[in-house]
Structures are given as structure tokens and as C-alpha cells.
A and B are shown apart, each in its own frame.
Chain A
Amino acid sequence: MDAIVAEAVSKRFGETQALDQVSLSLRPGTVLGLLGPNGAGKTTMVRILATLLLPDSGRIMVDGHDLLRNPQAVRRVIGLTGQYASVDDKLTGMENLILIARLLGQSRSQARTRARELLRDFSLEEAAGRAVQTYSGGMRRRLDLAASLVGNPRILYLDEPTTGLDPRARKQLWQRLRGMVAAGMTVLLTTQYLEEADALADDIVVIDRGRVIAKGTPDALKEQVGGQILRLRPRDPLQLAEIAEAVAALIGEMPDVDGRTVSCPVSDPALLTQVVRRLDEQGLALQDFSLRGASLDDVFLKLTGHRAESGETAEEGDQGA
């Protein structure tokens, strides 16, 4: 039985179709990466799966419980760590964890023991007695994660867990997540970092403007792009457009032009020689060129028509308060 099955979930906020017939499923003990730019609907999907928001239509089963009929049963098996599901700044780390343990029905001593255990696991023992407002970003995020684990959930939702963390703290959090998954945890992870999805996810669902535009394993998705990416950098930057046109004539579509380079997916190895010959004939000189394996970045670009980062300036459609 799948840990999560969502079928044709739709949600509209006024004029905005935040989710349009989104379906996904998550196998127990695996990580599903929900990938998309800001405003794609990732957070809306997580909020629905966490029973915080009702979908307009669709069917959702979480750990065998119908989410719409029995949300309380769903809440018993999930943990939520999100950009917005947060801890209380004014309490200490210890108190935050005790609060949640007590709310989950644990006795005072059980709550205390569980809180100590988690503080130790997340290297927060020394800060246990300090108010959370004095914590660093990384410590906060660790406490957030610890707070979502108090009730030993089977399924964990992580909504952009590493946004705003420095690279070291991010890698440490990845390490922890891998450990948890190895111990049997099922994780739904949303992220706008392709690298993160690549590093952690067993399966990926790419959404853009509320629609699923691709799903599969990271490797299968990269395969979809065509395996390899050709990058060309002209010696004279003014010839960028001419080179792009020359390539377009060969591959039948306009390649991606980004600052000083032209790049395009390559499925046929013969293309490389054709491109080089064509440019030579036209007298277009190259500074350098490269052929490398596709990254999820390329997948994203191909699927959405824009780079992942370009979405960052846009407001997330489902949170414009």
C-alpha cells in the first residue's frame, strides 16, 4: 500500500488555479521530491496533504486513511516541518518539544524524556534551555524538524526545509534526512533546489503553475532531456545570436541563450560534429564548448521554459496575503 495517494487534487484561490488535477503517490520508505518554482503550488499541495487546507476536488489517502473523511487519523501519522509550520520563538527548545509531546497526550515525564532524546539527536542539548529567538537559522530548522518528530510520525512533510540555510547546514540536514529514511521514514519533500531533489529524492514530481508537468526518477527525468547538454561560448559575445541561429537550424528549435553561452540538449552524438562544422563554415569562432550530462536544471528548463531561479522573484501565488 502506498503511503500517500493523491488523485486529481484541485484547488483554486479566487482567480488563481493553485492546483490543477495534481496526482501523485508515495511509496513507504522513500522520498518524493515535489519540485517547482515559487508559486507552482508546492506549498498549497503540502498544506492540503497536512489537513490544513481543503481541496476543491480530488481524493487523498494517507497511510490508508481518507484525508477528507478522517483528517484526525491523518494527523496522527504525519509530521510537518515547513516554511510556516513553526516553533514558538518565545519558548525554549525544550519547552517547544514538551508542548507538542503533551498535546499528543504524553505524560509529563514521557514528554520530558522524549524532548531530551530529540534535543540530543539534533545536537541542541546545550541550547535546550534558551529561548528559540536566540537560535541561529540552522538550529531553528533542526528544532523545527525535531518538533515534527515528537510523535514518531510514519510520514514526514518537509516544505522547503533548507531554504535560507548556508551550504554546510544544508548538507548536514540532508545527512540527517538520509538517516531517517534509512530507518524507514517516508518523506514528502518540496524544494526549489534541483540539487536537493537530486540528492535526496527517489522519485520526483515536477509542478509548474499548479500542474504536474513531469514525474519519474531523477535519472529518468534527466534522460528525458536527451541525456547530454551541449554548451557553446563564442569568442566574440556579439556573435551569440548568430551562433544560436546556426544551432537552431540544425536542431530545429531555438537553443537556450543565457548571458554568454548557447546551450541545447543533445540526443544524437553526431550533432556535435555538425555544429562545429557549421560554425566553422560561417566563420563563427568559439571560446570553448562542452558536452556534459544533463542536470535537473536542464530538465526544469526544458519542461517549464524557464530556469528554476527565475521564479524566485515571483510571489508564491498561494501565499500573497
Chain B
Amino acid sequence: MPDSNHRFFDGLNQTLTLAWRTLVQIRHNPWELGDFSIQPVLFLLLFLYVFGGAIAGSTEAYLQFILPGVIVMNMVFVTVYVGHGLNMDLTRGVFDRLRALPIARWAPLAGRITADLVKQAWSILLLLAIGFLLGYRLEGTVMGLLGMSLLLLTFALAFSWVMVWIGVIARDPEHVQLFGFTALFPVTFVSNVFVPTESMPPWLQVVVELNPVSLLAEASRGLLNGEAFLQPALWSMAWALGIGLVFAPLALRALERRLASGSSP
């Protein structure tokens, strides 16, 4: 099927072009970059210097604990941009213009998600760089570091579908942010990102240990700090698979419905 192959590569090209479009916006709107870089850095500094000593005995020890966790937390928050951007395209009519072009039907969505992965990679790099500046010591291997990045990007890819879904069903971009952050705050805080699970009441420990954010944080710590990581890594991938299987069809169906209702504006 050379023709369908050809079309597939056209679609990939269109996806990259649309990803470029999302990323080039940052140049004109540097605040957006601040949105997804400054906030996690502030979190990192705040927790490190205000609570670090109390939680881990010393700032140095706490940095080893919290940096992988903050990277995970931030990854989860950055996915909100997929939903926000998609909703903006839907409500402002850009999506319609794209759909009226002779391009692959999946390219607009794939472009968004690809752009999101670039933002994710940038966030991971930035937080790692700041971590090293603050004195973080990589005790694991470089392979571990790459492994962590891959793990987080894979999870982000799956979790993006939750945000695509929210982006489709929300009335306007502001609601996407409201929904997204409101839902994500408890998910990221009721985890072991900031404090070890042992200090929590037993019933909460159960919840925290099941939370994919905890599992990812634990796996990331293992990979960066040269400790055990396999079990939490596998469990978090199982979560990713589950989330993808549930939310990708849900999001696509919701999108289909929104477009067919004639109310895409």
C-alpha cells in the first residue's frame, strides 16, 4: 500500500508542522514558558529550604528525595496544556480551519500531543539542571536518568488523553485550567512526592501507595539515586496503559460528538 504509506508520512509531517506551531507560540508569549518552568522551580525551592530540614534532617538529604518527586509532579501538571490548547483551538475556530484543510484527520491532535512531549522534555531538563545547581548528586547511572525521562514521557503521553478529554468537554480554556489543576492538586499532594509515606496514617498510606504519582516518584528516585525501581516502574506503566485504554477512546468519542453537534465554536 504505497499510497497509504505516503499518506501516513504526509500526516507525520503535518503533525510536526502543527507541533512547531504550538512551540513557536512560546517565542511570542514567553510567559507561557514561565508558567510551566517557574512554578515547579518555586515549589522545589520552597519545599527544599522551608520544609527540607524538618522532613529529612538536612537540606542536602531532602534534595535527593524531593527532586525526582517534583519532576514527576510537574510532568503531571504540564499535561494540562494539551487540554488548554486544544480547547482554545476548538472554541476560537482554529480547529475548524485545520479540519477544512486536506490534511490527515489525526494530525491536529497528534501535533498538540507531540508539542506537549517537547515541553515535557524541556521541563525535565530544566528541573534537573536546577537540581544540579542546588547540589543534587546523581547516584545512579546516566542510563537511569534516560530511563526516568522515558518513563515520565510515556506516562505523560497516556495521561495527555485525560486532558484531551477535559479539553473537549470543557466550555472554555479557563474551565480546562480550573478542572485540570483542581483535580491534579490532590492527586499530586496525596503522594510521596514531598514526604515519605511512613509518616502518614495507615488508611492514607494505602491511597498514597496506589497513586501513580507516588509510583512514578518512587521509580524516578530509584533510577536517579541508584536504588530499586523496577516494581514501581512496572506498576506506573500499568497505570499508563490503563489510563490510555480508558481515556483515549473516551476523549476521541467526546471530540467526535462535539464536532458533530455543530457547536464546536
Contact surface of A with B, Cβ cutoff 8 Å: 11, 13, 18, 44, 47, 50-54, 72-73, 75-76, 78, 80, 82-92, 95, 99-100, 102-105, 131, 147-148, 151, 318-321
Contacts and interface: CB of A to CB of B under 8 A. Distances in A.
20 contacts: A51-B99, A73-B102, A76-B102, A80-B96, A84-B264, A84-B265, A85-B100, A88-B21, A89-B92, A90-B29, A99-B18, A99-B21, A103-B18, A103-B98, A103-B101, A103-B107, A104-B102, A131-B28, A148-B97, A320-B263
Contacts of B263: 318-321
A27 to B, nearest CB: 22
A214 to B, nearest CB: 25
- In order of increasing CB-CB distance, the 5 nearest A-B pairs are A86-B93, A84-B93, A321-B263, A75-B102, A90-B25
A53 B98 CA distance: 14
A80 B171 contact: no
A147 B97 contact: yes
B10 interface: yes
Nearest to A85: B97
Tell which of B25, B92, B100 has the most Cβ of chain A within 10 Å: B100
A102 B102 CA distance: 12
Interface stretch (B73-81, B124-132, B199-207, B254-262): B254-262
A86 B92 contact: yes
A52 B259 contact: yes
B24 interface: yes
Given A88-B21, A319-B265, A75 B101 contact: yes
Indicate the member of A73, A88, A131 with the most B CB atoms within 10 Å.
A88
B93 A18 contact: no
A80 B100 contact: yes
B228 interface: no
Nearest to A130: B28
Given A72-B102, A75-B101, A82-B96, A91 B25 contact: yes
Contacts, number: 94
Nearest to B24: A95
Q: Which of A73, A103, A321 has the most CB of B within 10 A?
A: A103
B10 A105 contact: yes
B262 A53 contact: yes
B169 to A, nearest CB: 11
Nearest to A134: B28
A60 B89 CA distance: 28
A76 B100 CA distance: 9
B172 to A, nearest CB: 10
A13 B262 contact: yes
Nearest to B265: A84
Given A90-B28, A99-B17, A319 B262 contact: yes
Nearest to B91: A321
A72 B103 CA distance: 8
Contact of A103 (B17, B29, B265): B17
B262 A44 contact: yes
Contact of B100 (A52, A83, A89, A131): A52
A42 to B, nearest CB: 12
Contacts of A88: 21, 25, 94
B66 to A, nearest CB: 34
A82 B25 CA distance: 23
B93 A318 contact: no
Interface centre among A73, A100, A151 (most CB of B within 10 A): A100
Contacts of B10: 105
In this complex, the member of B10, B17, B264 whose beta carbon has the largest number of chain A beta carbons within 10 angstroms is: B17
B14 interface: yes
A83 B93 CA distance: 8
A15 B28 CA distance: 44
B96 A52 contact: yes
B25 A85 contact: no
Nearest to A11: B262
Interface in B21-79: 21, 24-25, 28-29
Contacts of A82: 93, 96
A88 B262 CA distance: 21
Contact of A85 (B20, B96, B262): B96
A50 B93 CA distance: 13
Contacts of B14: 103
A151 to B, nearest CB: 8
A170 B259 CA distance: 30
Contact of A52 (B20, B24, B99): B99
B265 A83 contact: yes
Contacts of B25: 88, 90-91
Most buried by A among B25, B101, B264: B101
B28 A92 contact: yes
B10 to A, nearest CB: 7
A99 B99 CA distance: 14
A50 B262 CA distance: 13
A87 B97 contact: yes
A86 B102 contact: no
A18 B21 contact: no
Contact of A321 (B18, B97, B103, B171): B171
A105 B28 CA distance: 25
Contact of B262 (A47, A78, A91): A47
